[in-house]
Structure 1
Amino acid sequence: MKPTVQIEYCPKCGWMLRAAYMAQELLSTFTDDVNGILLKPSEVNGRYSISIGDKLIFDRKREGRFPEIKELKQLVRDIVNPDKSLGHSDKK
C-alpha cells in the first residue's frame, strides 16, 4: 500500500497556504508513489511537521526553520521511492 504524507500545520499562525503549496509540490512529484497528502490543522500552536506514516521526517521546532521544497522532496523520495530521480532537485 502506498504511504500517505501528512503535513500538520498551525492554522492560527497562518500556515495553511504554505502547507497547501508543499502538498501541491509533493503531489505533482510523487503522483504514482503516494496514496495522498493529508493537511491536518494542529491543535498545538506553532506546529509545522511532516510525516509519512508513523515516521516524522521534518519538524519546524526541531529544525528551527521550514523545509525548503527541494529538501522536502528529497526526504519524501528517500522513503517512498529511493530510486526515483528528482532531476535538478536531486542531491549532488
Structure 2
Amino acid sequence: MKPTIRIEYCPKCGWMLRAAYMAQELLTTFTDDVYGITLQPSEISGRYTIYVDNELVFDRKREGRFPEIKELKQLVRNKVNPEKFLGHSDSK
C-alpha cells in the first residue's frame, strides 16, 4: 500500500494555508507515489509536524523553523520513492 502523508498544523497560529500549500506541492510531485495527504489541525499550540506513515520527517519546534519546500520534497522522497529524481529540487 502506498504511504500517507500527514501534516499536523496549529490552526490558532494561522498555519492552515501553509499546510495546504505544502500538501498541494507534495501531491503534485508524488502523484503516483502516495495514497494521499491528510491535513490535521493540532490541539497543541505551535505544532507543525509532517509524517510519512506515522514516521516523523519534520518538526518545526525541533528544527526551529518551517521546512523549505525543496527540503520537504527531498525528505518525503527519501521515504516514499528514494530513486525518484526531483528535477530542480535535486539541484544544488
TM-score by length of 2: 0.98
Task: Indicate yes or no: 2:69 matched with 1:69.
Answer: yes
Structure 1 residue 91: deviation in Å? 5.1
1:47 alignment partner in structure 2: 47
How many residue pairs get aligned? The number is: 92
> SS of the residue aligned with 1:13?
coil
Partner of 2:87: 87
SS in 1 for 2:66: coil
Which contiguous aligned blocks of 4+ residues in structure 1 show a shift greater than 6 angstroms?
A: none
Equivalent residue, structure 2, for 1:33: 33
Query: Over aligned residues, Cα RMSD in angstroms?
Result: 0.7
Q: Percent identity?
A: 78
Cα distance in 1 for partners of 2:56, 2:85 equals 22
Q: C-alpha deviations, 1:3-49, integer Å up to 9, x for none?
A: 00000000000000000000000000000000001000000000000
Shift of 1:65: 0.1
TM-score (norm 1): 0.98
Whole-angstrom distance in 2 between the partners of 1:91 and 1:75: 14
SS at the partner of 1:88? helix
